[in-house]
Copies of this chain bind each other. A is one copy, B any other.
């Protein structure tokens, strides 16, 4: 992967959020940047940190956002795939209200806040695309509140799987048969949906026994998308995958 197509990944992502001009694209490609990688469980951001002056954009691997409660419980509040910004919020928020952690091996491009801020100032449509990206993220948070607050274990887990599968598909990370890797432990899945690992295990096995999903190691496939998305009460509207057309700049 050359330095150039690294930023191309970012352009592709932003063009999902709103249309960019040739000048916009050129300005992005001109951005100074560095590659970095993190090992499993490495922190990209820690709750309480002061903004560090750089933003990370994921190129490969998986990461999640998490918060801890005082009594030590963890809540995973978001999953991030390649093509996601991991800490855009710190462009503007001074102190980190949550941590961002790599799941397995994670590769990112790092961009300086200063350079990004200049880009946003000079190319307003790029700023708008970034803003829209953060609005979509907020929409996903709302869905997660609903998932954790109002669905039972079966639906919650099914919902997480559906969201993951759709986002992986959109990013071109599923195989022809719709299988994808979900390299999270059952404990982590539990922390993402507000359940214990034991109950996640039983529920996953239940879904598998019913012939709704198949698992092989941590690779997962969906035998009956219709059925599982119904159980999950999954409606992809909240992912706002239809954004491109809009944007009133």
A243 and B70 contacting across the interface, CB-CB below 8 Å: no
B142 and A243 contacting across the interface, CB-CB below 8 Å: no
**How far is it, in angstroms, between the C-alpha of A140 and the C-alpha of B23 when the chains are bound?**
35
Residue among A124, A145, A150, A240 with max Cβ neighbours from chain B (10 Å): A145
B150 and A242 contacting across the interface, CB-CB below 8 Å: no
Total residues of chain A contacting the partner, CB 8 A:
60
CB neighbours of A77 from chain B (8 A) = 142, 145-146
CB neighbours of A146 from chain B (8 A) = 67, 69, 75, 77
**How far is it, in angstroms, between the C-alpha of A51 and the C-alpha of B245 when the chains are bound?**
13
CB neighbours of A43 from chain B (8 A) = none
Binds B, one of A113-121, A162-170, A202-210: A113-121
- Copies of this chain, complex-wide, total 2
Residue among A70, A78, A97, A127 with max Cβ neighbours from chain B (10 Å): A97
A65 and B97 contacting across the interface, CB-CB below 8 Å: no
B145 and A92 contacting across the interface, CB-CB below 8 Å: no
Q: Which of B127, B131, B233 contacts A134 (CB 8 A)?
A: B131
**How far is it, in angstroms, between the C-alpha of A109 and the C-alpha of B237 when the chains are bound?**
28
**How far is it, in angstroms, between the C-alpha of A216 and the C-alpha of B54 when the chains are bound?**
49
Residue among A48, A94, A237, A248 with max Cβ neighbours from chain B (10 Å): A248
CB neighbours of A98 from chain B (8 A) = 139, 142, 238
Q: Which of B74, B89, B131, B193 contacts A139 (CB 8 A)?
A: B89
CB neighbours of A70 from chain B (8 A) = 233
CB neighbours of A120 from chain B (8 A) = 124
A194 and B240 contacting across the interface, CB-CB below 8 Å: no
CB neighbours of A131 from chain B (8 A) = 92, 127, 131, 134
**28 pairs, A vs B, C-beta closer than 8 Å:** A18-B92, A48-B237, A65-B142, A67-B142, A67-B145, A69-B150, A69-B151, A70-B233, A74-B150, A77-B145, A92-B243, A92-B248, A93-B139, A97-B143, A117-B248, A117-B249, A120-B124, A124-B124, A134-B134, A134-B135, A134-B138, A138-B141, A141-B141, A141-B145, A144-B145, A145-B148, A149-B193, A150-B194
